[in-house]
Amino acid sequence: MKDTNAPKLLVVLGDQLSLSLSSLRHADPYRDIVLMAEVAGEATYVRHHKKKIAFVLSAMRHFAGELKLYGWPIRYVQLGDPDNTGTLMGEIERARQDLDINDVVVTAPGEHRLAAQFANIPWLEMLEDDRFLAGHADFNGWADDRKHLRMDYFYREMRRKTGLLMAGSDPVGGQWTYDPKYQKPSKQDMSHSEPLRFEPDAITKDVLQMVERRFDNHFGTLRPFWFGVTRKNAQAALEHFATTGLPHFGDHQDAMLHNAPFLYHSVLSLYLNVGLLSPLEVCRRVERAYTEGHAPLNAAESYIRQIIGWREYLRGIYWREMPGYTKSNYLNAKRALPEFYWTAMTDMACMADAIDQTRDEAYAHHVQRLMVTGNFALLAGIDPVQVHEWYLAVYADAYEWVEAPNVIGMSQFADGGLLGSKLSAASGTYINTISDHCGNCRYDVHKKTGEGACPFNPLYWDFLKRNEDKLRGNSHTGTAYQAWDRMSAAKQQDYLDSAAAYLKTLDDWDHNQ
Ligand code: FAD
Ligand code: DLZ
Ligand code: SF4
């Protein structure tokens, strides 16, 4: 018979840094022991940005310190431990033997890769990760009844469930959503746009040195390192955003400015995704900013929508569609990821800006990810698996459950429109409307074809033509195909030739390496 009083090993992963974690809630600090392990395997399954590794490891060390203060016995394995096996499974096995413990409990990992390793082990119990508003059963219950999945309907359910911005059963203000006005912010507005920065303490300094030593060949600039690494830091960052960037969020969230990497974005995703903040507390704080008159309704609503709408919805899709989802390639895109995604060595000012910033900050805001680096990859027909691996590696907030549906679905349309039929494809004209990049670019955004034309212009039409059989029927591309049909055959050919000439430069570069 199973001894229910036998001690258990509670594994806490690097993105499970929440005191309210299900595994901790169901355990007994007088009987059980927590295992946290820094392992090379988690830093290298894709070669994560140096800042991401430093962030996760420092946050893990701080969280372990906090657990100790609360009386939890902890086995904390550092990366430099000579007996470190390099994998989470290896460290679990080693702890079971050293401590003579049989049973292991873990809150379900966010990535399918690890969840699959942990599944069907008789001595390992996986508990649901209930730090989300919609559990797997909730999401599937909602999705099973529907022919087409639509985020906006799911979002309404989440508003009703949480009561956020609700007046009884109706949305506050009478509308469910308030779209941004697409204004470019003025220079004056920008003075409020910086995220809160934190000085590294002794623990973080040790981690930085170690990351410098061990992961020097990974992408990204490590210093200056300014991310918060504790719950207190993350709460301060939330407070800072609620009182500075949030009031402008609704109007400017789709804008891009050179030298303004963060604009009015909150830079909270990295804290949310490791559990230092909970989605509901962030949304409640944002709601309060609105009710107290510090932020307009369009800002509060569109911010809350990103978290209880998109973030939860995409997670639901990920778990519904894995394991096959990350291999989807509906448009049969095969080109290799251009080297300039790693070096930023491109004359396209918008791309260079987004990639430079990604290298320096392990951050780019949503429009850069979607309409610049993502848009380019989509138009150029880059293999979605390579695009997915790039995004997973380069951002401090990247975990497959949220990254993959954004990349495979929202950005690359590689799932064939499963998560929404909208196509995130645009020519240079769109980038020029929402950004100030084109004025600083070697390419001419107003030139449609030929030498010096903005590459996004011919690539856009080439993409539509190349994928005509799959996209002509799409409700979002109807007007684009009508415009194509109205063009003369010579103009169409001009676009296709210009695109081919540009794509050849990518292929030649690749073959010469
Ligand atoms: P803000 O603009 O301030 O938004 C507020 C919060 O809303 C974010 O912190 C985030 O938690 C949530 N959010 C906003 N948009 C999304 C979205 N599309 N999906 C999920 N949550 C959202 N987000 C990640 O957390 N990890 C990723 O790996 C990731 N990869 C992406 C890849 C691509 C191609 C695209 C288009 C988007 C990706 N996103 C990802 C979503 C979004 O770009 C980031 O959440 C956002 O840029 C994080 O910065 P922020 O905290 O300043 O966000
Ligand atoms: C991202 C990351 C890194 C870089 N290192 C560790 C680690 O050493 N130990 C750990 O437990 N978790 C780490 N993580 C977070 C895991 O990759 C994350 O828990 C899984 O991807 C599941 O979402
Ligand atoms: Fe980007 Fe084209 Fe504008 Fe250059 S001209 S910044 S490539 S959109």
For the question of whether the overall pTM of this predicted structure is more than 0.85, the answer is: yes
Residues 6+ apart with CB under 8 A from 116: 323
Assign 274 to helix, strand or coil.
Answer: helix
User: How many angstroms separate the CA atoms of 63 and 429, rounded?
Assistant: 47
Q: Whose CA is nearest to atom 8 of ligand 2?
A: 38
Q: Please tell me the distance from the alpha carbon of residue 23 to that of residue 403, in angstroms, as a whole number.
A: 25
User: At 191, is the pLDDT very low, low, confident or very high (cuts 50, 70, 90)?
Assistant: low
Whether the per-residue pLDDT at 252 is higher than 70: the answer is yes
> Which ligand approaches the C-alpha of residue 398 most closely?
1
Q: According to the model, what pLDDT value does residue 182 have?
A: 55
Q: Which of 184, 257, 346, 348 to mutate to test the pocket of ligand 3 (most atoms within 8 A of CB)?
A: 348
What average pLDDT does range 217-237 have in this prediction?
98
Instruction: For domain 8-127, give the CATH number.
Output: 3.40.50.620
Residues with CB under 6 A from ligand 3: 348-350, 428, 431-432, 437-438, 441, 443, 445, 454-456
DSSP string, 192-247: G-PPP-----HHHHHHHHHHHHHSTTSSS---S-----SHHHHHHHHHHHHHTTHH
Pick the ligand that lies closest to the CA of residue 111: 2
HEC string of 324-353 equals: CHHHCCCCCCCECCCCHHHHCCCCCHHHHH
Ligand nearest to the CA of 48: 2
**pLDDT tops 80 at residue 132:** yes
The architecture (CATH level 2) of 136-193+244-321 comes to Alpha Horseshoe (1.25)
Domain boundaries, the chain: 8-127, 136-193+244-321, 340-512
Residue to mutate, 56, 114, 208, 210, ligand 2, most ligand atoms under 8 Å from C-beta? 56
pLDDT for residue 356:
97
Least confident of 181-185, 226-230, 233-237, 429-433: 181-185
Q: How many angstroms does the Cα of residue 432 sit away from the middle of ligand 1? A: 22
| pLDDT one-digit tens code per residue, 58-104 | 999 999 999 999 999 999 999 999 999 999 999 999 999 999 999 99
Identify the nearest ligand to the CA of 76 by its number.
2
* Residue having the nearest C-alpha atom to atom 28 of ligand 1: 398
Cβ of residue 52 lying under 6 Å from some atom of ligand 1: no
Burial degree of 386 (CB within 10 A; 0-12, 13-18, 19+): middle
Q: Is the peptide bond before 171 cis (omega within 30 degrees of 0)?
A: no
Q: Which atom of ligand 2 is nearest to the CA of 110?
A: 23
Is the pLDDT reported for residue 244 higher than 80?
Answer: yes
* Cα 425 to Cα 371: distance, rounded to the nearest angstrom: 7
Q: Ligand 3 mean position to 255 CA, how many Å?
A: 14
- Is pLDDT larger for residue 330 or for residue 190? 330
The pLDDT of residue 189 is 58
The first and second tokens of residue 124, run together, are: 């390992």
The DSSP H or E segment spanning 152 is helix 151-162
Q: What percent of the chain has pLDDT over 90?
A: 87
What mean pLDDT do residues 52-56 have? 98
Closest residue CA from atom 5 of ligand 3? 445
Q: Which residue CA neighbors atom 2 of ligand 3 most closely?
A: 454
Mean pLDDT of the chain: 94
Domain 340-512: give its CATH code: 1.10.579.10
Amino acid at 111: E
Distance in Å from the first CA to the final CA of the chain? 63
How does pLDDT run across 146-186, given as a tens digit for each residue? 888 999 999 999 999 999 999 999 999 999 998 766 556 65
Atom of ligand 2 nearest to the CA of 40: 8
Indicate which residue's Cα is closest to atom 21 of ligand 2: 111
Which residue CA neighbors atom 16 of ligand 2 most closely? 14
CA 382 to ligand 2 centroid distance, Å = 28
Query: What is the H or E stretch that residue 105 is in?
Result: strand 103-107
Residue 66: name the closest of 231, 234, 208 by CA. 231
Instruction: Determine if ligand 1 sits within 6 Å of the CB of residue 366.
Output: yes
pLDDT for residue 187: 54
**111 close to ligand 2 (CB < 6 Angstrom):** yes
3-class SS at 20?
Answer: coil
**323-352 average pLDDT score:** 97
Closest ligand, as measured to the CA of 300: 1
- d(CA 72, CA 89) in angstroms, rounded, equals 22
Distance (Å) from CA 251 to ligand 2 centroid: 35
User: Is the CA virtual torsion 278, 279, 281, 285 positive or negative?
Assistant: positive
pLDDT tens-digit series, residues 458-467: 999 999 999 9
